[in-house]
Chain A
Amino acid sequence: MLLRVLGPDPDVSDVVHDAFEQAIRSLHRFVGSRHDLGAWLNRIAVNVAKNRLRHQRVRRWIRGAVPYETSEVATRVASPEVVFAMKRTYEVLQRLPTDERIPFALRFIDGMQLTEVADATGASLATVKRRLRRARERFARHAGNDAVLAAWQAGQGR
């Protein structure tokens, strides 16, 4: 889930580690059955992702925009056009507010149900729907200016 939200972040495995460490530290506060554990972990992961995105945003502000680097792994396991589109997608997602980016990634990239997105982000279903609608509009607007993503949107990217 963190990979979906953060994209090709070279430190994503460290972020995952942080999320599990936080979960272990807060395990005593967990109330619910083991069926609720997954949702609880998702909420922790979303909080960790928010912190990470906030940090990235500050660093970008200071250093200027840094394009996502395409990892060697990505180029080995996926077709070049998908890798390129993935890079462009996350560069566009950088421009979305965190409260829109996270639901967008969970819903459309991870494929979560709306209720799951609401649960993971701690927002109501109505709020999630509203944020998703805005995120889609904003994403479409930015993607429309990008030749690669525009081709995908028009169904010509594959």
Chain B
Amino acid sequence: MSDRPEIARRIAEAQDAILDQLDATRGQRRARFVAAARRPTRSPTNVPWVAVGGAVAAAAVVALLWVAKTPPDVVEPPSADRVASTTEPDSVPRTLVLEGGATLTIAETSEVSVPSATEPRVVLARGTVSLTAARSAAPAQIEAGDFVVVGDRSEASVQWSPDEERLAVSVQSGQVVVRRISLGTQQVVVAGQSVQLSTVEVTRGPTVEAPKEPESIEPESTQDAPLVPRPRRARPSWKELAAEGEHAAAVAPAEAKGFGRIVKTAKADELLALARAARYAKSPSRATEALQAVRKRFPRTRAAAQAAYALGRVAFDAQRKFAVAATWFQTYLDEQPKGALKREALGRLVESHRRSGAGAAAKRAARKYLDSYPDGPHADIARQAL
């Protein structure tokens, strides 16, 4: 393209190189972000409007502006896997705007993570959040231990104490549905009501005012689904759920327990199982985090090589980063040249190189594949690469 400026071409080259490096630094970047989110002090240059006067002025600006779903005391719009935390006593409540428009105010000493940037869903690890879901907002979901609180056109506060496994829900307007995951039960809490629930007992708090006629969030489920009557059983852990193939369900208790803590303390095989659950639960960043932990904490082991293979699959299947995937598959082959996953890793290496446009590397890998597995599942793709 003759009209393409030289600087543009050089920028594109630099960006291509950056893309190749990004995945390697992703884990580190995320760790830095989480650390920053946990830091209570804020840069005065970045958030000058935290000061009261600034907040008032910004509020006026935002009110005039329009679109900004982001109110002035919002720290960050939610993005996948970010953690908002106000664990320091002097910290102030933070507000998140969830996908769909609902807002969440996080009280002091609370911990909330946002597992997906595209879903109005948060995981409350501890503390109190206040939900405001306006009429136009999509229903928002707060996961806390074994409970899920769904708020639609409502204002409510939700408190979760993980040590006692106790949930307190107080509804100021509208109504919310409180679900118990392991028992499959749910109940509606309407405006003026407060309930306290725990995994070992269920108590209903005093009604502040006569409950309003429930609107129909899920009318069929509100009458016949008491939380108490069913026989109690132990709440399954993320390990049990993952072992049973309940992948999506396994990630929620892991989040509630503290994903970061699990990643630091779990055994290698447990981390591989957690990563698999996260991958199937469509959370590639969580899967990557668990797998990177295996690589870091158990280097030069078979588990580390398996993690490399799984990282390749995440990069290939979920992130479509084929050059990165090729690096991981090659890492597996280097570390386990006779490993059980050799055929799959080599086949996927061919495919990754092809899709990333690395023709020569694809040919080399294809020759190796066909030498060893002329009738293997990737044989056709390997022949096409030659």
Contacts and interface: CB of A to CB of B under 8 A. Distances in A.
B18 A20 contact: no
Interface stretch (A28-36, A80-88, A95-103, A119-127): A80-88
Contact of B46 (A13, A63, A108): A63
A89 B319 contact: no
Contacts of B62: 62
A13 B20 CA distance: 12
Interface in A113-158: 113, 149, 152-153, 155, 157-158
Nearest to B47: A63
Q: Give the contact-size bracket for chain A.
A: 35 or more
A77 B14 contact: yes
Nearest to A3: B15
Contacts, number: 114
Interface string B47-68: 1110000000010011001011
B4 A108 contact: yes
Contacts of A22: 118
Q: Give the contact-size bracket for chain B.
A: 35 or more
Given A3-B15, A14-B117, A73 B21 contact: yes
A73 B22 contact: yes
Of B4, B18, B67, B285, most buried by chain A (CB within 10 Å of CB) is B18
Nearest to A66: B46
Given A13-B22, A62-B61, A82-B14, A20 B320 contact: yes
Contacts of B282: 21
B15 A4 contact: yes
A4 B79 CA distance: 20
Contacts of A27: none
A62 B72 contact: yes
B1 A76 contact: no
A152 B7 contact: yes
Interface in B275-325: 282, 284-285, 318-320
Contact of B1 (A58, A111, A149): A111
22 contacts: A4-B12, A13-B26, A13-B319, A14-B80, A16-B320, A17-B285, A20-B319, A55-B77, A58-B65, A61-B65, A62-B61, A62-B62, A62-B70, A63-B49, A73-B18, A77-B20, A78-B10, A78-B17, A85-B10, A86-B15, A107-B4, A108-B4
Interface of B: 1, 3-15, 17-22, 25-26, 29, 33, 46-49, 58, 61-62, 65, 67-68, 70, 72, 77, 79-80, 117-118, 282, 284-285, 318-320
Given A4-B15, A77-B20, 17 more contacts: A13-B319, A14-B80, A17-B284, A17-B318, A20-B318, A21-B118, A21-B282, A62-B68, A62-B70, A64-B48, A76-B21, A77-B17, A82-B10, A86-B11, A152-B5, A152-B6, A153-B5
